[in-house]
Amino acid sequence: MKAEELNQIPEEIFPKFVQDIIDNMCIGSTLSSSELGGVPLNTFWPICQIMKCIVTNIVEQKMTKEEVYETLSCIGTNRAAIVYEGVEFRKEELNKMLVREAIKETNHLTDFDWNVRIGVSSDKVLELNEILMTLHLHTTSSKDGRRNTFTLDMSKPQVDELLEILQAAQNKIAQCQVVKT
């Protein structure tokens, strides 16, 4: 990330630039290079991406306040403060937007198949080692509708662990539903 490229934004319009980036991320407002004092288009979009990356890192708490100021020291403490305070003011909205974006790009389980088989590790059929379960998970991407199938071979302890995780998830969902109502 080359934060020093943010120096190409004139000082007097830097606060508006930061606000426009945050608005774009939160509500999808338009970004215009013409409002930025004639910043060439070939540098405008990379600068926007740098700023969006910084905003995302702050919201996801990948950077502390001190790290933000250190990273942005090349553009001055005044500009760094504008960025940090602008993000902090709208942090809740930005966080909701990041969650929505993450959900858009996830795979959703649409169906599953399973079967149980007996695993044998020697040439003697009577010496059974363990029971295995094969689980086929059929998913659909929420982004492009692409379908995938993932196949897992699981031992009994792994199946038990999976069931515990699913039970805990079901309990958590039930708690959330109780709180919501």
**146 or 55, greater pLDDT:** 55
C-alpha span between 58 and 25 (Å, rounded): 13
Task: List, for residues 45-86, the tens digit of each pLDDT value.
Answer: 888 999 999 999 999 988 889 999 998 999 999 999 999 999
Q: Residue 2 above 60 pLDDT? A: yes
Which residue in 84, 6, 98 sits closest to 50, CA to CA?
6
Task: List, for residues 76-132, the tens digit of each pLDDT value.
Answer: 999 999 999 999 999 999 998 888 887 777 777 787 777 877 665 555 555 556 677
C-alpha span between 153 and 159 (Å, rounded): 9
Q: Which residues contact 55 (CB under 8 A, 6 or more apart)?
A: 21, 22, 25, 83, 87, 94
Contact criterion met (CB below 8 Å) for 92 and 98: no
Could you give the percent of the chain with pLDDT greater than 90?
A: 25
| Residue 166: per-residue pLDDT | 85
Give the predicted TM-score (pTM) of the model: 0.61
